[in-house]
Amino acid sequence: MVCSDSSMVLQAQEEIIEMKDVFSVKLKRRRFVGQKKGFQNRPKSLKVFVNPSSHKREATHVYYEQVAPLFKLADIKTDVTVTEYEGHALSVLKECELQAFDGVVCVGGDGSVSEVAHGLLLKAQIDAGKDTDYIPTPVRAPVPLGVIPAGTTNILAHTLYGIKHAVTATLHIVMGHIQPVDVCTFSTPSKLLRFGFSAMFGFGARTLALAEKHRWMPSSQRKDFAFIKTLADLKPEECELSFLPLQIPQEDSHENDRLNNGSMALIVVQNTSRTEFIKHLKRYASIKNQFNFPFVETYTVQEVKVQPRLKSGLDAKENTYLNAASAEGNYPWNIDGDLMKEASEVHVRVHPQLINLYGVNTDDLESSQATCNCI
């Protein structure tokens, strides 16, 4: 009876296994299988950037508590830079020997990711001997970029993973899931401004410009104040807009919102009443179609040019608004959550599959019947 009891106790102990141990076994199995059949993109060494100021200053905690342990379990070596100022990651990447790494990871929000993506692509142009003031045909980023969501806005991470979840994002990096993504260049006639994924001119840019002038306020209060103030002073922008449309066959029309089809969505909100504009804004937070208004036009395009123009015959108040950021002749742009000011025409071009991101296109997952049998 004693032996029988001992055997039963041993059996019970063996069945109680902590999840971290099971996960470790699975990672090692997949790594071994990946060397022969798949997962060829599994990284062994990563350059990591952590923005400690993201959101509620939680990015450092997210990385060291949730992400770093998984990298360690997967035997991935990391070189970590905790950024100390805006543009720090860009400065490091310009001097970084990227051939020493299999990928780059950014822990932060959309603004941080945009800076790292810009740095990666700018470094690629420098290494290729390109003129960085004029890049009509940029070369691709040499290594993939991983996005760990830890910011106020995490739109790119949600697009890649279908959820704002640091562990999910980390697992995509560990497994080496690669998703080619289109990137835009934003340039004036004389220079490249930056690489980026999205931009706003007009209301969204002026809101950001006003918020940046009140950085002494707490983040949430600053954004709410800027939004309400800009909405109260709402005026139409005077600009000349031209674009090159992308011809999409009718049967492929559902493809126009993908991450890598060589197109971008141009959304033009024309002059309307403040009440109607607010209705349009509210729909961004609902399931209703925010574009189903007579004053909203949408186009699928390859290139866009925006030329700001000063109105003549304005009263003092209108001139104050339209020149709020133009006292020096500059107009605000919101590029991936970062403020840029330019006086001249801005030319936006989309470049197909210019960078690889760790993740998958969630549209593919939703339309696919594929299942996973490895767990």
145-149 vs 103-108, strand pairing mode: parallel
- Which helix (H) or strand (E) is 339 found in, with range? strand 338-342
Question: Active site includes 110?
Answer: yes
CB atoms inside a 10 Å sphere around CB 206 = 25
Residue 250 tokens read as 């009718």
Residue environment code for 121-157, b if the CB has 16+ CB neighbours within 10 A, otherwise e: bbbbbeeeebeeeebeebebbbbbbbbbbbbebbbbb
Catalytic residue, chosen from 102, 110, 182, 336, is 110
DSSP per residue over 114-161, as a string? HHHHHHHHHHHHHHTT--TT--SSPPPPSS-EEEEE-SS--HHHHHHH
Residue 255 tokens read as 């493809």
- Which helix (H) or strand (E) is 341 found in, with range? strand 338-342
CA–CA distance, 41 with 36 (Å, rounded to integer): 12
Q: Which residues are catalytic?
A: 110
